[in-house]
């Protein structure tokens, strides 16, 4: 018998509300708000209240999918990343770095978005970086 709470940050937007994930016998069982937290102070929106729901959902993707002969096939991260790097390398060689654009996400942390723009500018060599919150 196990019940504990894990304090974490809501994955749904960049606001940074903290919440507790309730763990019952090793599985996520629900969300509790985090009273006294500097941003949310015990409140959550409807997304935060359901932040646990996708984790054990049977429809959740757990591996990358690569389209082979028109069908999406499960693949390893190594395979998927190697394919992306190969194809993006080809595009860059044939059409130049500015033919590539990068879209960041509001669901990521500042640090992750920082790394992504760094990747766009320093690795690929383009300033084509945008963000879904601006759409």
Partner 1 sequence: MSDRLSALRQAVERILPEVEGLVALKQGPAGILAPHLYQPSQATELELLALWPKYPVPDTIKMLQKAHPGAKLAVVCRGCEERGLVEMAKHAQIDLANVQLIGLQCTAEEATFCRCAKPFTVHATVTVGEKIEGAADPLTEAFLAKSQEERLAFWKEQFLHCIKCYGCRNICPQCFCNVCALEDGTWVETGRLPMPLPPMYHLVRAMHMTAKCVACRECEETCPAGIPMAIQFRLMARDVQEMFGYETGAVIEQKPPQLLVLEEGEYAKTGLPH
Residues in Cβ contact with 36 at an 8 Å cutoff, skipping those fewer than 6 apart: 42
Residue of the chain from 15, 16, 35, 103 that contacts partner 1 (CB under 8 A): 35
**Site map for partner 1, 12-31, x if CB under 8 A?**
------x-x-x-xx---xxx
Residues between 36 and 75 that touch partner 1 (CB under 8 A): 36-37, 40, 42-46, 48-49
Q: Which CB atom, from 34 or from 104, has the smaller least distance to partner 1?
A: 34
Q: What one-character-per-residue DSSP string does 9-75 give? A: E-SSSSS--EEEEEEETTEEEEEEE-TT-TTTTT---HHHHTTTTTTT-TT---S-EEEETTEEEE-
Residue of the chain from 9, 10, 34, 124 that contacts partner 1 (CB under 8 A): 34
Say how many CA atoms lie within 13 Å of 43 toward its Cβ.
Answer: 6
Residue of the chain from 7, 65, 87, 132 that contacts partner 1 (CB under 8 A): 7
Q: Which CB atom, from 29 or from 55, has the smaller least distance to partner 1?
A: 29
Please give the size of the binding site for partner 1, defined by CB under 8 A.
28
Q: Compute φ and ψ for 90, nearest 5 degrees.
A: -60, -45
Q: Which residue has the tokens 């409807």?
A: 46
Residues at the contact surface with partner 1, assessed by CB under 8 A: 1-5, 7, 18, 20, 22, 24-25, 29-37, 40, 42-46, 48-49
């Amino acid at each position: 018998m196990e019940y504990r709470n894990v304090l974490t940050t809501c994955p749904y937007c960049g606001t940074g509300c903290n919440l507790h994930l309730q763990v019952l016998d090793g599985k996520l069982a629900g969300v509790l708000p985090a009273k006294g937290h500097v941003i949310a102070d015990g409140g959550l929106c409807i997304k935060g209240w359901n932040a646990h729901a996708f984790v054990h959902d049977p429809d959740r993707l757990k591996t990358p999918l690569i389209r082979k002969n028109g069908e999406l096939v499960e693949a390893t991260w190594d395979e998927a990343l190697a394919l992306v790097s190969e194809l993006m390398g080809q595009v860059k060689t044939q059409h130049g770095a500015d033919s590539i654009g990068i879209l960041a996400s509001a669901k990521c942390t500042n640090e992750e978005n920082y790394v992504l723009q760094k990747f766009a500018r320093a690795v690929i060599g383009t300033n084509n970086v945008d963000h879904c919150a601006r759409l």
